[in-house]
Amino acid sequence: MGCFSFLKTMMFVFNGIIFLGGVAVLGIGVWVKVDGGSFLQILGSAAPQLMQVVNVGYLCIAVGGFLILMGFLGCCGAVKESRCMLMLFFIIILIIFIAEVAGAVVVLAFSSVSRIFIEYLGNVAVKYLHYQYGESDELTTIWNATMKELKCCGFYSYEDFTNSTYYQRNQQYPPVCCANISPCQKYKIDPDVKGCLAAFEHFFSRNGKIVGGVALGICALELAAMIVSLVLFCHIGNSA
């Protein structure tokens, strides 16, 4: 009984943290979409470097809603000893875990599939850069933030912007490609500036162990959550 109570408490605390985190993320997402002006003012004074990533309100709402759902299922399933909630929590975590493992296997074992996916992603990215950069505020701010953080320009290179809608309208490349020097002309772009694909591959090669460690940590937490929920599910069933 002591072990069961401990697992029940840990399940409640762990999912309670997830639930509160989801509420916070959801609240930020709603705040951004409803009253973006005041949020921008506060964020600009507190963390100016994050000003370019605030146009992700819908993403925050979606992530926050999902976290709230998971936290609610875990907490209520443990407190109310609901086998239905615990099993639903277990199934959702299991689906996420299987999807992560399947994605890792595809990336590691089928390099040709990975190349095809990267090629497809590149075609889509270049198309958006060519026609939507400078036209869509959200896409533009996300790309600016990406290029600024990775110190890159375009998906493959700065040539992705050549003859684009943005270039034809402004007769220059995005200022972020020239370290925010405006007007950004071709001769001002540092030849060492890579495309974002190459910059991401370089970042991943340098930080692969950290990324792998984080991924393993997440998988371990997911496995622990599944084991605990399954143990509670079985114990409640035996006690009924």
pLDDT in tens, 101-118: 887 776 666 656 667 777
- Categorize the per-residue pLDDT at 45 as very low, low, confident or very high, splitting at 50, 70 and 90: very low
DSSP string for residues in 89-139: HHHHHHHHHHHHHHHHHHHHH-HHHHHHHHHHHHHHHHHHHHHTTTT-HHH
pLDDT of 50 over the 50 cut: no
Among residues of the chain, what percentage have pLDDT more than 90? 7
Query: Rounded to an integer, what distance in angstroms lies between the CA atom of residue 148 and that of residue 193?
Result: 11
- Local confidence band at 56 (pLDDT 50, 70, 90 cut-offs): low
What pLDDT score does 4 carry?
74
Q: What tokens were used for 15?
A: 């999912």
Query: 22-36, 56-70, 131-145, 193-207: which has the minimum mean pLDDT?
Result: 22-36
pLDDT > 60? residue 52: no
pTM score over 0.75: no
**How many angstroms separate the Cα of 57 from the Cα of each of 29, 31, 32, 40, 139?**
4, 8, 6, 12, 13
For the segment 160-174, the average pLDDT, to the nearest whole number, is: 91
CATH number of 113-240: 1.10.1450.10
CB 92 within 8 A of CB 73: yes
CA 227 – CA 225 distance, rounded (Å): 6
